[in-house]
Amino acid sequence: MSSRGDGLRLVAVLLLLAVLQFALRPFLGDFRSAPDLLLLALLVFAIRARPGEAAVAGFMIGLMVDSLTPVAFGAGALAYTCVGYLAAWGKAVFFAENLLVNAGFFFVGSWLRDLLVIVAGRHMDQASVLWQLFFWSPIKALTTALAGVVVLVVFRRWLRIRIAQ
């Protein structure tokens, strides 16, 4: 962060996404297809963070998510930790200031998190896993990517993101 004001604006956006996860997401339809705003907050943070910081943030978010859905406790913590680390590391390699690339970044992050939760959780039969990975996960990843694009466009000045059209 270049200044204290930038850090406060980033925290405000991340807190807004966390509040909207619990206040707005239940009204967006089926939980399997609604955008994951906590993951989006992690990815927005990971854009600016070092891999270790993003992994710690992912672990904390994952523990919170696991405490709310204890079916496969630990799977969410593992998945969010890995996605946070890989997102922070990967943005240095291929991250561009293009809206479509950002949308792809959010899509892949969401789908990868679902894949890791399913593999680590092992609480579904094979048909359910395939249905989840190739139907519901891409829909959720698409809605998360769309929400991410909206966040980047609306808060681009706060987040100091230059978006090339």
Q: Which two tokens stand for residue 77?
A: 């913590």
The residues spanned by each domain of the chain are 4-159
The C-alpha atoms of residue 68 and residue 42 are separated, in whole angstroms, by 18
Per-residue DSSP letter, 133: I
The C-alpha atoms of residue 53 and residue 154 are separated, in whole angstroms, by 25
Q: Which two tokens stand for residue 46?
A: 């990971």
Q: Would the pLDDT of 92 be above 80?
A: no
Please, which residues bridge with residue 164 across strands? 98
Residue with tokens 């000045």: 157
What pTM was computed for the model? 0.87
Residue 1, pLDDT score: 43
Measured on CA atoms in the order 37, 145, 114, 40, is the torsion positive or negative?
negative
Query: What mean pLDDT comes out for the span 58-71?
Result: 89
Residue 126, pLDDT score: 81
Q: Would the pLDDT of 157 be above 90?
A: no
Answer whether CATH 1.10.1760 is correct for domain 4-159. Answer: yes
Q: Give 106 or 31, the one with higher predicted confidence.
A: 106
Q: Would the pLDDT of 129 be above 70?
A: yes
